[in-house]
Amino acid sequence: MDTTDFWNLIDDARSQVTDPADAEAVVERASALLAARPRNEIVAAQQLFWDLMAASYRAPLWAAAYTINGGCSDDGFEYFRGWLIAQGREVFERVVADPDTLAGLPVIRAAAPEGREVECERMLGIAWDAYLAATGEELPGHSFTIDYPALDPEWNFDFDDAERVALRLPKLDALYA
């Protein structure tokens, strides 16, 4: 399994659920699809998932998650990025490149007036669940690494500083003001 295979798995799951905006349903279906694959592909999917988590470990995205969810701890940022991965490759890549584009997503536009949090903790266990379902065993712990990059020092400010966030994420700021 490579990155393209992983994204195809997510796209297949999204196409097979009633509501692709329902990240929990996408994860459930993706995990079932992954469980049908050979063990080595499930293990590879775990590393690919954490590589995507590392690729999205960016201060601008964290500020966007903070804005959308009314705050965002370390764990909350992981759950937010889990949700983002469940949205598929095109959305993921666009949002990582420019987090302010989140303001144009229908699910974000719908969540904003209600102050509904956007996250999917369950995505973090997609390969664990698939491996357990396929083998009856836990995924080997040594089968993946997590290597987050340093955060951009230009974004090293309190995300409660509405003025600074508004300058950097104007569309999200307008949506959540």
Q: Quick one: angle between helices 89-97 and 74-86, nearest 10?
A: 130
* Of residues 23, 29, 25, 24, the one with CA closest to residue 9: 29
> What pLDDT does 177 receive?
86
CB–CB of 63/47 below 8 Å? no
What DSSP assignment string belongs to 57-121?
A: --HHHHHHHHHHHTS--HHHHHHHHHHHHHT-HHHHHHHHH-GGGGGGSHHHHHHHHHT-----G
Task: Please give the C-alpha separations between residue 114 and each of 69, 122, 157, 177, in angstroms, as whole numbers.
Answer: 11, 22, 27, 12
Which residue matches tokens 């959305």?
Answer: 91
Residue 41 has a CB neighbour count (10 Å cut-off) of: 19
Could you report the per-residue pLDDT of 125-152, keeping only the tens digit for each? 999 999 999 999 999 988 899 999 999 9
pLDDT below 50 — which residues of the chain? none
User: pTM of the predicted model, to two decimals?
Assistant: 0.96
> What pLDDT does 59 receive?
97
CB–CB of 45/1 below 8 Å? yes
